[in-house]
Structure 1
Amino acid sequence: MAISAKEAALSLKNICFQGVRKHFAAVGVEAVLGLPTPLIRDLLPHLTVCQLDELQPALNQRGLSTHPGWISVLQDMCGPNHVTDFDTEEEAKHEVMRMLFTLVFYGFTNPFVKRNIANLNTPSFLWAAAKCIKHFLLTTPVESLTAERRPLLNLLEKRIWSVGVSQSIDISKRRTQTALYVLHRLLDHGVAKKIVVHVQCPIVLAWILHGRGSQYVNPDLKELLESKKASCVSQTASASADGAGGGSGLGTGAPEEQVTPCKRSKLDSAEESGRSHFTLDPQVLCRTFTPRDGPSAGACPWGRIDCLDIRQCGSDSLRVLNSALPTFFCLRSLTLHSFLTFRDSDVLSLAKALKQLSDSSHSSLADLSVSVLPCTWLVEVLLDASPNLTSLTAEIQTLMWGQRLLPQRPRAAGSGISGAEKAERLPLEKLDIKVAELQTDLRFVTSVLRRCPQFTSLRLAGIRLPSGSSLSQLFTTLSESNPLLRSLNLEDLKLSDCLPEILNLLTDCKLEELRFNDCRLLEQWSNKEESLQRLVEALKAVPSLHALSLAQNRLAKNVCVLAELFSGPAPGSVKRLDVSSNFIQPAELLEFAKRLRTHRPPHRLTLDLRVNPGDRDPDTWNAALKRLRPFCVLLVKGWSSTDTMADHISNM
C-alpha cells in the first residue's frame, strides 16, 4: 500500500530525529538550538536523558521547556497508562533521574534500561543524575564509591540530603567498613541531615546516632569502638611496616589502583584467619579510605541528624533510641514504624524519653510520626510528653482478637505529666490519624482540636463510631476552634449525615485543600443531585480552595453537577479536581465535558479520572476526553471491566 506524502514526511522527520540523537555530539548544541521552535519541540521526545539535561539550560533561556521530553522518558519507562503527574520540567526531570540512577548504579535492569544501556551506563549519566537526586539508598554494592566511582562520592557528598540504610550491616564482619565509610562521608563530611533506617539492627542504629546529635553513648557500641580501635592501631602499624619497601601501603599517598590489590589481600587474609582487625571509628575509617589530600585531611567533622526515620522499629531499636532521645537536641523530625503493634510499655517508655527531651530548653523536635499504636489514648500521652510538637502522625490498630482488657489508666500515666499541663494549649498545626478498630471514641480527636488554635491541617482515616453516632461533632469543633484550617483530608469515613455541619464549616473558612475520599457522601441523601448542588455552591464560595477530591464516593451520573463549580459570575477557584474511582460511565463523562465546556474553569484544571470504566464505550470516552483536553490536564489510567470484583466494588 502506498503511503501518503504526509506519512512520508513524518517518517523522514523521525529518521532525522534519530540521526540527531545518534550523532548529537557531532551535530552540537548550537545547531540544535538553531532549529525552529516547533521542530525543537518535536525533537525533544527522541533525545536521551543526557542530551535533554545538556540542552535544558540553553532552551530555558529561549523560553522553551524540556518538560515534554522528560514526560516521554517517564512514559517509555513506566508504560502509557502510568500517570505522569509532574507539572514542571524540574519535577519530571528529577523523577526520571531518581529512577534511573537507582537502576543503573546498582545494576538493576528493566526494558528501558536494556534499550538505552549504551547511553546510561556511563560516568557522564551517573554524574548528571547524581546532581538531581536528594536521597541515596545505601545498599550493596557501594564498594565502587571507594574505587572507580570515587569522584561520584565527592559529588554525592555535596548533594545528598537524605540517606537510607536498606540492608543489614553486620558490624562483626570486616567488609562492612566500606558501607560505614560511605555513611560517614555523607553524614559527617556531607550535607545529609536525614537518615532512614529500613532494617532492624540496634547496634547499627547506635553507631548512626553516636556523636551526631545525642550525647548518649551506647555501652555495647562503646566497647566495640574501643576494642576495634585498638586492633586497628596495631594493624595499621603492621601495614605501614609491610608497605615501607613496596611503596603501596595505606597512607602513602599512592594512586588507589596501586593500593587496592595489597589492601584486598590483607582484608581477605584477616577474615580467613578470623582476626577482625578493623575499625568502627569514623575518624580512622576516613584515614583508611581517603588519600591524604582528600576531605579527611586533618580531623573529621561530626555531622548532625535533624530527621530520623526508623521503618522497622522493634523493641530493641526503640530501647537504643529512648536512651539517646533525652540529649538529642538537634532532632527536628522523628518517624517510628513497627510492622507489629507497639506494646503499651514501649510507647510509655518513648513518652518518658520525649518528656525528658522537651523539659530541656535545647529541644527542637517539632514533627513526630508513630505507627502502630495499640490504642487511641496514647496519642494524647505522646502530645503531653512533647507539648512543643507542631505535627503529629499516628496509626492506631487494636488487637485483632478483641477489645483490650487493660484498665483505662490516666492519660498521663508513666510519662510524668500533670493534669495541669494536660489542659494547656498546644502549638500543634498538623494532625494525621489513621485508625483500624471496631469503634473509636471521637472525643480524643475533638479534645486535641480544641487545644490547638493554630491548627492548619487535619487528616483522619478509618474512624468507626458506635451505632447511632455521627461525625457531625468533628465539623462543629473545626468551625468553632480551628479558624486557621487550610487542609482537611478525610478518608474511609461516613459523612452522608453531616451535610449541614459541612456546609456550616464552608461558610467561613480558609480551606485550600479539601478531600472527602471514600466517605459515602451520597449514601443517605434522599435527593442526591440537589444535595450535591448545595455542596457545590458552598465550595464555590471558598475563594482559597484550590484542590478538591471526591474520589470513591460513587458519584456516577451525579458527576455532572460538579461542572457547576465554575458557573456564574463568581466561579470557584479549584485548580485540581479528583473524581477517580467513581464509576463514571463514558456517556456521563461526555455530559460532564459538555457542561464544563460551557462553564470553563478560570484556570487550567487538573482532572483525575483514573479507575473509571472508560472501556465500556471507548469511542464515547475518547470523545469526552477530546472535549476536555483544551482546558484540562487529564490523569487517566486504564480500566478493565473484565475485572468484575473491581467493577462490583465501585458500583456498590
Structure 2
Amino acid sequence: MANTARRADTRNRQEMCLKETCFKAVRKHFAVLGIEAVLDLPTPLVKDLLPHLTVCQLDELQPALNQRGISTHSGWVGVLQDMCGPNHVIDLNTEEEAKHEVMRMLFTLVFYGFTNPFVKRNITNLSSPSFLWAAAKCIKHFLLTTSMHKPLQSLTAEHRPLLNLLEKRIRSVGVSQSIDLSKRKTQTALYVLHRLLDHGVAKELIVHVQCPIGLAWLLHGRGSHYVNPELKNLMQSRADCVTQATSARIGGASLSPGYGTRASEDQDEVTPCKRSKLDPVSVEEEECGKANFTVDPQLLCQTFTPCDGPSAGACPWGQINCLEIRQCGSDSLRVLNFALPTFFCLRSLSLHSFSTFRDLDVLGLARALKQLSESSRSSLTDLSISALPYTQLMEILLDAVPHVTSLHVEIQAVMWGPRFSPHHPRTAEADMPAELPLEKLTVKVAELQTDLHFITSVLRRSPRLTSLHVAGMRLPTGSSQSQLLTTLSESNHFLRSLNLEDLKLSDCLPEILNLLRDCKLEELRFSDCRLLEKSSDKEESLQQLVAALKTLPSLHTLGLAQNRLAKNVCVLAELFSGSSPSSVKRLDISSNFIQPAELLEFAKSLRTHCPPQRLTLDLRKNPGDRDSDTWSTALKRLRPFCVLLVEGWKSTESMADHISNM
C-alpha cells in the first residue's frame, strides 16, 4: 500500500512538471499560438495557466475569458505575489482591483525606467510600447517625477499618443519632487501637468513635497482667483521674452499670454506654427537674457503642440476639486491660505506635515477657511489635517468650516508653547452651531490627556454621523471611556461604521452591549482596546459580546485586532451558530497571540458552525511558527470556507507582544 502511494505521488509530480513545461511554452509562444488556442482549452486548465502568463497576455485575454465566465483574478494575484514576495498579503477581492494594482505599480516603474527584481526578470515583456499602452488604459493616477526628464520628454515626441490617452484616463496627479521654475528642463514637466490638469479630466492633485512656488503654479488659474506675485512676475518676464522672440519669427505678430496669437493692428491675424520641439536660442532671446522658455501654461501648450495638433486659441483652465499636500510646511501653507478664500471649486482638502503645525499656521488656515465658507459658492465638504498641536484647535477649525461633512484631524501634543492662543478665545458651547452636518469624523490623538467633554459635545451636535474613528484618546486617572459610548448610544443613531483604536475599554463592556442593542452598525472595530483585560471570566465576557453582535443583521465587518484573545478565540465561532447566524463577512483577529493549537480548535469550531457565506479571515501577526505543522493543518481546515490573510511571522522578533500576553 505504501508503494502504491509513493507511485501515485511520483506520477502526480511528473504530471505537474509536464504541466509547468507546457505553461511556460504557452507563455513563450503566445503570439504564435494566438488567443483562440488558449480559449479552446478546458476551463480548469485555463485557470491553472493564468498565473504563468505575462501582464500583457493577461490583459489581452481578459475580455474573451470574461465572456466565457472565467475571471483572470488568479493571474493578476500571481503577478502581485511575484512582485511583492510570498509573505505579502494581497487583500484584493475582484479582478479589476487586482489588475489596477498591478498596472499602477508597474506603470511608474517601467515608464521612468526604475528597476526592481520583477522588472528585471520580465523586462522583455514590459519594455514594449504595448505594455505602457495597456497600463495607461487601466490606471487612474499619474505620478510626475520632475527629475526624470527623458521619459517626460518622450510624451511630447514618440510617446505623444500615450499622453493623449493619459489625458483622457488620469483622474489624479501626484507631484513627487520640487518644481524648479528656474530650469529650462522643467518646461516639459509643466507641459505634461498642463495637459493632464487643464486639457484632461484630472481633478485631484497630490503634492508630496514642500515647494511653495511650485504649489503657486499648480493652483494658479485652477479654481482660485489669487495670483501669487512672485509667480506673476516670473510668468510675465518669461512671456515677454517669448513674445519678442515669436514676434520676430512671424513678422511682427504678438502673443498674448493665455489668449492665443493676435496680429498687430495693421496686419491680418496670424497663427504661428506650433512646434513639437524647442527651437535653438534666437538672437532676440539672447538679447532678452533668457532662453526661449516660459512657465505660462498657455504659452507652453503653443510651444510643445505640433502644427497638426489641436486648434490654436486659448487653452482651457482645469479645476482642482481635491487637493492633498503631504509635506505642508509654513511656506506652502502661506501660499495656500492666500488662494483658499476664492477656491470655490475645492471639495476636499488634506494637509499633512512631518512636524506638528504651529499655532499661528493653524489660525491663519482657519481664517482663510472661514472666508471661503462664508461664500455661498464654497463647495468644501471634506477636511483632513495632521498634526495639530492640541485638541482645542479642532474646535477652531469646526467653527471656521461649519458645513463640512467629513473631518479628519490628528493631534500630536507639543511640550512647549501656550496651550491656547490668547488671540483666539475659546468658543462657548452655547455660541456653537446647535447641529453640525458631520457624517464622517476621525480623531487620532497623541497627548497625555484629552478633553473627552469636547469630543462628546461634537458627537451630540452631529446627529447625522455615519462613520466615527477615534484613536489614542487618553483620559485622566480614574476616568472612563464609558461616557463616549453612552453618547454614541444616545445621540448617533445613524452610525454605520465605528472604529475605536488604542482606547482603554476594559471597564466598558456594559456600555458596549447597550450600544449594540440599538444600532445599525455595518462595520465595527475594536483595535488594541484591552476588551478583556479586567474580566474575571474572559470567556464569559466574550460570549456576552458575541451574543450582542449576533443581534446585528447589518454587521458585515468585525475587527478585534490586538485584544489578547489568545485561547478565547474559539468563542468567536459561536457568531455563526444557531438559527440566526451572524452576517459577518470579514473578521480581523490579527495580533491576538493566537497559538497554532488554539487556531486549530477555532477551525474545528468554525467547521461545526460554518459561516453562511465565505468569510475573509485576517490572521496576520499571530505566532504560527511556534508549531508550523499544526498551524498549517488549521489553515487547511479553514480554507474551504475562508479567504485567509496570513503572512510570515517570526516570534523571536516579537518578544514584547509575547511578554504582554503571558
Into which bin does the TM-score normalised by the smaller protein fall?
Answer: over 0.9
The 5 A counterparts of 1:301-320 are 301-320=316-335
The 5 A counterparts of 1:347-358 are 347-358=362-373
Cα displacement (A) at 1:423: 3.1
Of 554, 572, 580, the residue aligned with 1:562 is 572
Cα displacement (A) at 1:54: 0.7
Residues 602 and 268 of structure 1: CA distance in aligned 2, closer, same or farther (over 3 Å): farther
Match of 2:400 in 1: 385
Match of 2:121 in 1: 115
Match of 1:467 in 2: 477
Residues 43 and 442 of structure 1: CA distance in aligned 2, closer, same or farther (over 3 Å): same
Match of 2:91 in 1: 85
Contact 1:251/1:291 (8 A) holds in 2: no
Distance in 1 between residues matched to 2:170 and 2:431, nearest whole Å: 40
1:539 aligns with 2:554: no
Amino acid at match of 1:17: F
Contact 1:520/1:554 (8 A) holds in 2: yes
Amino acid at match of 1:46: H
Match of 1:495 in 2: 505
Distance in 2 between residues matched to 1:495 and 1:56, nearest whole Å: 49
User: 1:91-140: CA deviations, max 9, x gaps?
Assistant: 11111111111111111111111111000011100011111111111103
The 5 A counterparts of 1:345-424 are 345-401=360-416, 404=419, 410-412=425-427, 422-424=432-434
Match of 1:415 in 2: none
Is 137-146 or 165-174 further displaced after alignment?
137-146
Cα displacement (A) at 1:8: 2.5
1:608 aligns with 2:608: no
Matched residue SS, 1:543: coil
1:445 aligns with 2:470: no
Matched residue SS, 2:480: coil
Contact 2:593/2:658 (8 A) holds in 1: no
Distance in 2 between residues matched to 1:310 and 1:430, nearest whole Å: 21
Unaligned runs of 5+ in 1: 242-249, 413-417
Matched residue SS, 1:112: helix
CA-atom RMSD, angstroms?
2.3
Residues 429 and 506 of structure 1: CA distance in aligned 2, closer, same or farther (over 3 Å): same
Cα displacement (A) at 1:281: 1.1
Matched residue SS, 2:98: helix
Is 267-276 or 564-573 further displaced after alignment?
267-276
1:52 aligns with 2:58: yes
Amino acid at match of 1:522: L
User: 1:329-348: CA deviations, max 9, x gaps?
Assistant: 11000011111211111111
The 5 A counterparts of 1:235-250 are 235-238=245-248
Distance in 2 between residues matched to 1:16 and 1:201, nearest whole Å: 54
Match of 2:259 in 1: none
What's the TM-score once normalised by structure 1's chain length?
A: 0.93
Distance in 2 between residues matched to 1:395 and 1:239, nearest whole Å: 56
Amino acid at match of 1:41: K
Contact 1:335/1:368 (8 A) holds in 2: yes
Distance in 2 between residues matched to 1:7 and 1:352, nearest whole Å: 71
Amino acid at match of 1:57: P
Is 394-403 or 201-210 further displaced after alignment?
394-403
Is 267-276 or 478-487 further displaced after alignment?
267-276
Contact 2:245/2:282 (8 A) holds in 1: no
Match of 1:26 in 2: 32
Of 281, 285, 289, the residue aligned with 1:266 is 281
Contact 1:188/1:301 (8 A) holds in 2: yes
1:197 aligns with 2:174: no
Contact 2:274/2:305 (8 A) holds in 1: no
Distance in 2 between residues matched to 1:126 and 1:409, nearest whole Å: 53
Distance in 2 between residues matched to 1:114 and 1:339, nearest whole Å: 34
Residues 505 and 419 of structure 1: CA distance in aligned 2, closer, same or farther (over 3 Å): closer
Is 349-358 or 573-582 further displaced after alignment?
349-358
Amino acid at match of 2:514: N
Cα displacement (A) at 1:143: 1.9
Contact 2:527/2:562 (8 A) holds in 1: yes
Distance in 1 between residues matched to 2:112 and 2:445, nearest whole Å: 38
1:211 aligns with 2:221: yes
Distance in 2 between residues matched to 1:284 and 1:189, nearest whole Å: 14
Distance in 2 between residues matched to 1:635 and 1:650, nearest whole Å: 24
Distance in 1 between residues matched to 2:68 and 2:499, nearest whole Å: 41
Contact 1:515/1:549 (8 A) holds in 2: yes
What's the TM-score once normalised by structure 2's chain length?
A: 0.92
Residues 325 and 409 of structure 1: CA distance in aligned 2, closer, same or farther (over 3 Å): closer
The 5 A counterparts of 1:478-517 are 478-517=488-527
Contact 2:513/2:545 (8 A) holds in 1: yes
Amino acid at match of 2:626: R
Cα displacement (A) at 1:409: 5.5
Amino acid at match of 1:364: S
Matched residue SS, 1:467: coil
Match of 2:487 in 1: 477
Distance in 2 between residues matched to 1:272 and 1:169, nearest whole Å: 26
User: 1:263-310: CA deviations, max 9, x gaps?
Assistant: 3x5399989996354211111000000113324633211101000111
Cα displacement (A) at 1:404: 3.4
Contact 1:287/1:296 (8 A) holds in 2: no
Cα displacement (A) at 1:158: 0.5
The 5 A counterparts of 1:36-185 are 36-139=42-145, 140-141=147-148, 142-185=152-195
User: 1:318-363: CA deviations, max 9, x gaps?
Assistant: 1111111111111000011111211111111111111111111111
1:548 aligns with 2:558: yes
1:284 aligns with 2:294: no
Of 581, 600, 604, the residue aligned with 1:590 is 600
Of 296, 304, 308, the residue aligned with 1:293 is 308
Distance in 2 between residues matched to 1:543 and 1:552, nearest whole Å: 25
Distance in 1 between residues matched to 2:318 and 2:420, nearest whole Å: 46
Match of 2:653 in 1: 643
Distance in 2 between residues matched to 1:419 and 1:506, nearest whole Å: 29
1:633 aligns with 2:639: no
User: 1:585-609: CA deviations, max 9, x gaps?
Assistant: 0000000000000000011000000
Task: Indicate the percent of aligned positions where both proteins have the same amino acid.
Answer: 74
Residues 101 and 40 of structure 1: CA distance in aligned 2, closer, same or farther (over 3 Å): same
Cα displacement (A) at 1:407: 5.9
Amino acid at match of 2:105: M
Cα displacement (A) at 1:651: 2.6
Unaligned runs of 5+ in 2: 1-5, 252-270
Distance in 2 between residues matched to 1:548 and 1:60, nearest whole Å: 32
Distance in 1 between residues matched to 2:340 and 2:596, nearest whole Å: 56
Cα displacement (A) at 1:10: 2.1
Cα displacement (A) at 1:79: 0.8
Distance in 1 between residues matched to 2:209 and 2:654, nearest whole Å: 39
Distance in 2 between residues matched to 1:341 and 1:253, nearest whole Å: 48
Amino acid at match of 2:228: N
